[in-house]
Amino acid sequence: MDERKWVLTWGQAQAGLSYFSYPSEPKTYSIILNTAITGEAVRVTLSNTHGKEDVLIGAVTVCTCTEKGEATGEILPLTYGKKSSFTLRKGERIVSEEAPLELTVGAFYRVSIFVKKGKLLSGNLLDSATLLYQTGNQTGAVYAPDELRRRDDLRHKAEKSLGMYFPRPIPLLDAVEVRNADGAEAIVVYGDSLSQQGFWTNPFEKKLRAAYPGRYSFINKAVMGNRLLYDYNKWFPAGDLYGTRALTRISDDVYPYENVRYMILALGVNDCFEFKSINSPGAGEKPDPKDVCNALLTIAKNMQARGTKVVALNIIPFGANRDASHEKDDVRREVNRLLDENKASFDVFVDIATPFSDPHDDYYAEPSYVGPDKLHPNAKGGAVIADQIDLSIFK
């Protein structure tokens, strides 16, 4: 019996890129990735889900490479509908034909996309990949250096202003799957910016790889500002960065992929935190904690029905953030109480709120665990969260 199967080795959730989007000009976007599992063939999914116009793709290639992106093997062209040059329609998501590519555990590989025309509005700000921004068609080059991008200055200014971390946005690339013969499976993090920024997910992935070499790929399907119950406020200029509500986007971000063995469910903070703010939906609805909890239970039930085990995290405190209030924290506390009450509905329930809280006043996070905005974990706080998830779960 053929034991080979398609497994995600890298992926991201699609959101709008807003101010961080890429203009319409002939550019190559070379994305350097690292695989935790073996592969003998590859297929690559591109997405223009949040695009406002069609994008003309001139070529897509894949190859093994060094950590800096220098090709170390044959540069293989990818085709979509048997075409190497094609139009990616607005709202469209397409999967390539497979190409033979031998990947060993820990190998670097490169996906290069030459865009001839079309503004790039769909992608994500994720630091689990390195993007090289290059003029012209560099898909066949052994190596082409990265170029400065003027909008990187805007990104760094936003980081300073908001006290958040914004990795360089990765456009178009949705997922990479490999044909694996070693029984590997995927673990997907389904979350918001607390997961997207990588401060807990990166150290957790490092530990996971060390504990189970070649066994699991770790896929970050988080979106900043993402809520369970509501889409972003259409009047908020950068709202499309928050993506579609989690109850809806799961159909694009998780369901299409087989062999997702575990989901780490880390959502809900924005439902508790963002009402009565400029980026809240509509009139700034205050959520019912029961609805937030039920949304998480619905996601868990649907994933379990697909054969995926669900590891649920509760919600850390945010009292020191400038937009915090006791009214918002009351919602968070009640959601956490309801999650604890219903924890048997998840395969594993992990309390990250208690160890993350200030031991003197649990309205606040422990000050040394959060970044400048007093909401997102820093490296120390991220390590605390990662340590709460017992790796023996994944045996």
pLDDT, tens only, 251-304: 999 999 999 999 999 999 999 988 877 666 554 678 999 999 999 999 999 999
On whether the CB atoms of residues 46 and 170 are closer than 8 A, the answer is no
Helix (H, G, I), strand (E, B) or coil at 32: strand
pTM for this entry:
0.95
Rounded CA gap, 224 and 233, in Å? Answer: 14
pLDDT, one tens digit per residue, over 152-173 is: 777 777 777 777 777 889 999 9
Q: Looking at the domain 184-394, which fold is it?
A: Rossmann fold (3.40.50)
Q: Residue ranges per domain, the chain?
A: 5-173, 184-394
**pLDDT in the model for residue 114:** 98
Query: Judging by DSSP bridges, how do beta strands 173-180 and 348-350 pair with one another?
Result: unpaired
Measured from the Cβ of residue 6, the count of other Cβ atoms closer than 10 Å reads 17
Q: What span, in angstroms and rounded, lies between the C-alpha atoms of 180 and 177?
A: 9
CB environment 151-174: b (16+ within 10 A), e (fewer): beeebeeeeeeebbbbbbbbbbbb
- Three-state DSSP class for residue 286: coil
Contact indicator for 60, 112 with CB cutoff of 8 Å:
yes
The pLDDT of residue 148 is 86
Quote the radius of gyration of the chain (alpha carbons, Å): 20
Between strands 216-220 and 185-191, the pairing is parallel
Encode the chain (395 residues) as per-residue pLDDT tens digits.
457 899 999 999 999 998 889 999 999 999 999 999 999 999 999 999 999 999 999 999 999 999 999 999 999 999 999 999 999 999 999 999 999 999 999 999 999 999 999 999 999 999 899 999 999 999 999 999 999 887 777 777 777 777 777 788 999 999 999 999 999 999 999 999 999 999 999 999 999 999 999 999 999 999 999 999 988 777 677 778 899 999 999 999 999 999 999 999 999 999 998 887 766 655 467 899 999 999 999 999 999 999 999 999 999 999 999 989 999 999 999 999 999 999 999 999 999 999 999 999 999 999 999 999 999 999 999 999 999 999 999 99
CA dist 113 → 133, 182, 234 (Å) = 10, 29, 30
Report d(CA 357, CA 272) in Å as an integer: 17
CATH of domain 5-173: 2.60.120
Neighbouring CB atoms inside 10 A of 126's CB total 25
